[in-house]
Structure 1
Amino acid sequence: MAISLQVIYPISEGKAFDFDYYTTTHFDLVGEHMGEHMDSMLVTKGLAGGPDVPPGIFAVATLVFKDHDALNAAMAAAPPVLADIPKFTNVEPQMLIGEVIS
């Protein structure tokens, strides 16, 4: 069964997010260190929290893996990716690991 890892970057006062670095440098690190274990990756930039509501999230990265073994292998390779996070944001990301049901 496919497994997803979502990395969520919530917006709060005093927090910043460098989308240029995220898309041009961090994505490459994810691919270099975790890519061989992933089936796909989707990144969503927050634009709104609803009609006329500012976004509550900078971005959500969704990484999809074939199974738990692939996720575990990717996480074992992830330390350089995790160490890179402070280079583009001062947000403490939230993570959600889940079973892909659709």
Structure 2
Amino acid sequence: MKVKVILTFLLLTTCFAVFSQEKHNTAVVEKGLIKVSVMYPYAEGKTFNVEYYETKHMPMVAGFLGSNLVKYTIEKGVASGIPNQPLPFMAIGTFYVKSLSDYQAAIGPNRDAIRADFPNYTNVTPVILVSEVVK
């Protein structure tokens, strides 16, 4: 019985250490990356098809970015930060890339294809913010 308790303790300690290290490594990897946030503002009568965005649009853009892309995320807006206030954004797509110049070089020639796909999932013009991850 004592051996089982010790083995369980060691297993849990090892799992915790690995999990903590993974979280730490992720934070270190992201510092200095370029973050491209594509935000879709909420407005009455505006629409956004999250399924299409997730399965078609974002993978298409990710393909254009190639090895410069570290990861991308998709967020679906659910509420405002202030109770009983309208949702500020219906959705936000975020790309994390290594190089701004490589990002621009990849997006430039594909800009028309990206924009032509908008009507397939939204009738909103996105707001785009390019920033550098500090922490």
Paired letter, 2:57: H
* Equivalent residue for 2:64, pick from 33, 42, 45: 33
In structure 2, how many angstroms separate the alpha carbons of the residues matched to 1:55 and 1:35? 33
Counterpart for residue 47 of structure 1: 78
Which has the larger share of strand? 1
Which has the larger share of helix? 2
List alignment gaps of at least 5 residues for structure 1: none
How many residues in Structure 1 have an aligned counterpart in Structure 2?
A: 102
TM-score (norm 2): 0.66
Identical residues among aligned pairs (%):
33
Q: Confirm or deny: 8 A CA contact 2:70 2:97 kept in the other structure.
A: yes
List alignment gaps of at least 5 residues for structure 2: 1-31
TM-score (norm 1): 0.84
- Runs of 4+, deviation exceeding 3 Å: 51-54
What does the per-residue CA deviation read over 1:7-63, in whole Å, with 9 as the maximum and x for residues that have no partner?
Answer: 000010221111121112112212322243211111111011136444221111111
CA RMSD of aligned residues (A): 1.8
Larger Rg: 2
Q: Confirm or deny: 8 A CA contact 1:33 1:77 kept in the other structure.
A: no
